[in-house]
Amino acid sequence: MTNYRNPSYNLRNHALAMVIVLATLLSAPPIAVASEVHLRDGASVTSGPAAVRSKWQWPTLTPVAVNRAFDPPALPWLSGHRGVDLGAPIGLTIAAPADGIVVFSGMVVSRQTVSIMHEGGLRSTYEPVIPLVESGDVVVAGQPIATVEPGHSPGTLHWGARYGPDEYVNPLRMLVGPSVLKPW
């Protein structure tokens, strides 16, 4: 509340507000600059979180139970859960949640995995699956990419998303689209 009779009171409140705003801005993650990522087949996608603009869809095409939530580690090398486990039944066909390019389709340790590079440099991953696509394939939202196979617990499908080698994000966040700030 503004106190028009006491200028020092107003100054203290405005100074406190500025400190809070600056602290918030300084603690926020840096804004990424979009750039292009060129893939081996000549295709390219724009990289950087600032380039992600479209709303995704569920890879199961309809919402399913989330059996284990996103729980990132405090530091990149610590343990955590870098994705979500979806209650997708074995044999269910999984679809691309957004347009992209398949950057990996094959075995990782003991599980088959599919990874798609999307606009903005966001890579989505799905395991354990039987791939229906190959590395280098261009996919569109809703296109079948894999079939869920046994081998993951507590959910049958692990869905992950990340920028670069270790900036994991909650893939469920992509289902609601970008945040838009509006003036008061």
What size, in residues, is the chain?
A: 184
> pTM of the predicted model, to two decimals?
0.68
Mean pLDDT of 133-158: 91
Residues in Cβ contact with 59 at an 8 Å cutoff, skipping those fewer than 6 apart: 86, 88, 94, 95, 96, 97, 124, 126, 145, 157, 159
pLDDT higher than 80, residue 129? yes
**Are 83 and 171 contacting, i.e. CB atoms less than 8 angstroms apart?**
yes
What are the pLDDT digits (tens) for 83-120? 899 999 999 999 999 999 999 999 998 899 999 999 99
Please give the Cα distance from 88 to 149 (Å, whole number): 10
Q: Where are the alpha helices (DSSP H) in the chain?
A: 7-27
> What residues does 68 pair with on adjacent strands?
85
Domains of the chain: 1-30 (no CATH), 35-176 (2.70.70.10)
Residues 172 and 39: their CA atoms lie apart, in Å, by 26
Mean of the per-residue pLDDT values for the chain?
Answer: 77
